[in-house]
Amino acid sequence: MGRIIIDPITRIEGHLKVEAVTENGVIKEARSTGTLFRGIEVILQGRDPRDAQRYVQRICGVCPTSHSTAATLNLDSAFGIADQIPENGRLLRNLILGAAHIADHILHFYHLCALDYVDVTKVASYQGNNSALNSVKDFIERGELGPFVPRYEGDYRLSDEANQQAVAHYVEAFNMRRKGQEMLSIFGGKMPHNCAIMPGGVTEVPTVDKIASFLWRLNELRDFIDNVYLPDVLAVAGAYSDYFEVGKGCGNLLSFGSFDLDVKETDLLKRDRLLKQGRLSADLKLEPVDTDKITEQVRHSWYSESNNGRHPSEGQTTPEPEKAGAYSWIKSPRYDGKVYEVGPLARMAVTYASGDPKVKAMVDGVLSHFNAQPGALFSVLGRHAARALYTKLIADTMPEWLLQLKPGEPVCADYEIPEESTGMGLVDAARGALGHWIEIKEGKIANYQCVVPSTWNLCPRDEQGQPGPVEQALEGTRIRDESNPFEIVRIIRSFDPCIACAVHLVTPKGKDLGKFRVC
C-alpha cells in the first residue's frame, strides 16, 4: 500500500488537499479536504437583506457574479417580486452572468488546466516572429519558467508545433479573458464584485453606446472561441483520448439551469431557462429536481453533528475543528441521499437529454468526431468538452439578448422589504448548481445558507460512507508513477474546483501549505 498526499492542489481557486491510498499503482481510497473554515453565512446574520448580494460576492473573486445572481434571485423570492422583473432587467442579468462565465471558462482551460497537457519547454525550439512565443522562449533560455513550473513531468503528447501553438494561445487567452471582464463591467459596473445586479432587476440602464461596446468585445470572443478555444480542446482530446475513460465520478448529474428566458414562473425549477433543470444518471434519463430532497451531511466535516442531514433552509454553520472522524471544512450535499456531480457537464447533459436541438447538435458533433458514445461524457475530457461547448452556446446566444434590450425602458421593479419571509435562489454558476437560502425576521437576515458547486463536487464522505464526486472520480485510477501523479491533478482540475466558494472564509493560521510527499 502507498499513500500520495498533495497539499495544496495548485492551479485551482482556494486551498485543497487530496490524499490517495494506492495498491499496485491503483487508487483504492481518496479523500478530498477543504482546509479553510466556512463562515460567510455567519457574517450575514442580523444584516439588511439587501446586503446579501454584495456580501456573498466576497466569497470568491473568480466567480462573484454567480453568487450575486443566486443571492438576487433569493431576494426576489423573499420579497415576492420574482415574476415582476422588467425585460431589460432580465436581459441585463443574463448578459452580465454570461460575460462572467465566458471569462471564467477561458481562464480555466488555458491558465488552470492546459499546462497539464502542454509542454512549455517545446517553445525553446521555436523559430518565428510571434512576440508572445519569443517572450516565453526568452524566459526559458534564462531559466525563468514561472508560472509554468513547478509541474509534474512526463506524458506530454502534443507535437512540438502543437505545443508552441498552445502556448501562444495561453498568452492570447489573457487578453480574451480581460475582454470578457470588460463586457461584464459595461453593464455590471465593475469586475470583480459587480454592483448592478439587485432585487427587482439591475441598476444599470442600456444605451446604444453600451450595447455597441459590449457587442464589439463579444464578437472578438466568439471568434476566439470558434477558432482557438474549441480547436484546442479537440486537439487535447485527440492526443489524450484515453482520458475519455478516466475520472468518471459518481455517474449522477444535477443542474439548476441558468439564463432565464422569461420570469412568468416564480418556481425557478419550472422557469423557462436556456440551460435546463434536471437530474441524470449514466442512462441519460431526465428526472426533475425537488429541492426538498437536498440535505447537507457533516459526519466527516468539521461542523457540529447537530447540523447533520438538514435541509439548507434550516442549515447552521457551527464549526467543530476537533471533531473526531472529520477531515474537511466542506459539507456533503446529497440529493435524496445520493451523491451528485454538478458543473458544465451536468447542465449540458441535462439540456441534451431535454431534447434541446442546439445542444444536441453540438454534443453529437463532438461525440461523432471521436466516434464516442454519450457515456464518454462522464470523464475528464467530457468535462472539458462540455465546458467549451457551453461557452460557445452562451456566446452565440448573447447577441440575441443584446438586440432585445430597449433603451429608455425600466430595468428594475419596486419592492418593499418584508418583516418576515423566506426565499430561495437557484442558478447554475460557472462551476455548477448554486443555491442560496434566506430567512428574514424583523426585517433582518436571521439565517442565510449557500450550497455551492464545489461543495457538491469536492465534498467528503457522508454518514453512509459514500465518497464525494471527486473522491469517486479518483478511486480506481491507475497512477503510472506515484512520485509524479499527474493523473490526480488532471482529474481534479477537470472539475474546476473553487474551494473559496466551498469553505468561504480564509483562516490560514497554523496550516501547512506547499507540502508534497509519497510514502
pLDDT of residue 61: 77
Q: Are 458 and 64 in contact (CB under 8 A)?
A: no
pLDDT of residue 300: 97
Residue 151 φ/ψ region, left for φ over 0, alpha for ψ in the -120 to 50 degree band, beta for the rest? beta
pLDDT of residue 366: 96
Instruction: Tell me the CA distances in angstroms from 518 to 1, 8, 30, one per residue in order.
Output: 11, 14, 14
pLDDT of residue 422: 98
pLDDT of residue 516: 38
pLDDT of residue 503: 56
pLDDT of residue 502: 65
Q: Are 297 and 308 in contact (CB under 8 A)?
A: yes
Position of cell 432580465? 90
Instruction: Tell me the CA distances in angstroms from 118 to 230, 391, 422, one per residue in order.
Output: 16, 21, 49
CA 78 to the chain's CA centroid: 26
CA 380 to the chain's CA centroid: 15
Instruction: Tell me the CA distances in angstroms from 374 to 241, 311, 353, 377, 382, one per residue in order.
Output: 15, 33, 10, 6, 9
3-state secondary structure of 362: helix
Cα separation, 498 vs 504, in Å, equals 10
Cell of 225: 472561441
Q: Are 229 and 391 in contact (CB under 8 A)?
A: yes
Cα separation, 498 vs 486, in Å, equals 20
Side chain identity at 241, as an amino acid letter?
S
Q: What is the DSSP string of 389-435?
A: HHHHHHHHHHHHHHHH--TTS--B------SSEEEEEEEEETTEEEE
Q: What is the DSSP string of 37-50?
A: ---HHHHHTTS-GG
Cα separation, 85 vs 412, in Å, equals 6
Q: Count Cβ atoms within 10 A of the Cβ of residue 384 and give its class: 0-12 exposed, 13-18 middle, 19 or more buried.
A: buried
Pick the closest to residue 36 from 466, 455, 342, 488 (CA basis): 455
User: Which residue numbers are catalytic?
Assistant: 13, 60, 63, 67, 431, 454, 498, 501
CA distance between the termini of the chain:
9
Q: Are 141 and 125 in contact (CB under 8 A)?
A: no
Q: Are 95 and 199 in contact (CB under 8 A)?
A: no
Q: Are 241 and 370 in contact (CB under 8 A)?
A: yes
Establish how many alpha carbons lie within 13 A of residue 220's alpha carbon, considering only the half-sphere containing its beta carbon.
17
Residue 498 φ/ψ region, left for φ over 0, alpha for ψ in the -120 to 50 degree band, beta for the rest? beta
Can you say whether the dihedral through the CA atoms of 403, 178, 495, 169 is positive or negative?
positive
Q: Quick count: other Cβ atoms within 10 Å of Cβ 315?
A: 21
Q: What is the 3-class SS of 234-276, one letter each residue? A: HHHHHHCHHHHCCCCCCCCEEECCEEECCCCCCCCCCCCEEEC
pLDDT in tens, the chain (519 residues): 899 999 888 888 888 999 999 999 999 999 999 987 767 888 899 999 999 999 999 888 778 999 999 999 999 999 999 999 999 999 999 999 999 999 999 999 999 999 999 999 899 999 999 998 999 999 888 888 777 877 888 799 999 999 999 999 999 999 999 999 999 999 999 999 999 999 999 999 999 999 999 999 999 999 999 999 999 999 999 999 999 999 999 999 999 999 999 999 999 999 999 999 999 987 889 999 999 999 999 999 999 998 899 999 999 888 899 999 999 999 999 999 999 999 999 999 999 999 999 999 999 999 999 999 999 999 999 999 999 999 999 999 999 999 999 999 999 999 999 999 999 999 999 999 999 999 999 999 999 999 999 999 999 999 999 999 999 999 999 999 998 999 999 999 999 998 776 654 434 444 443 343 433
Task: Report strand pairing: 278-280 vs 294-297.
Answer: unpaired
Prediction pTM value? 0.94
Task: Report strand pairing: 444-451 vs 432-441.
Answer: antiparallel
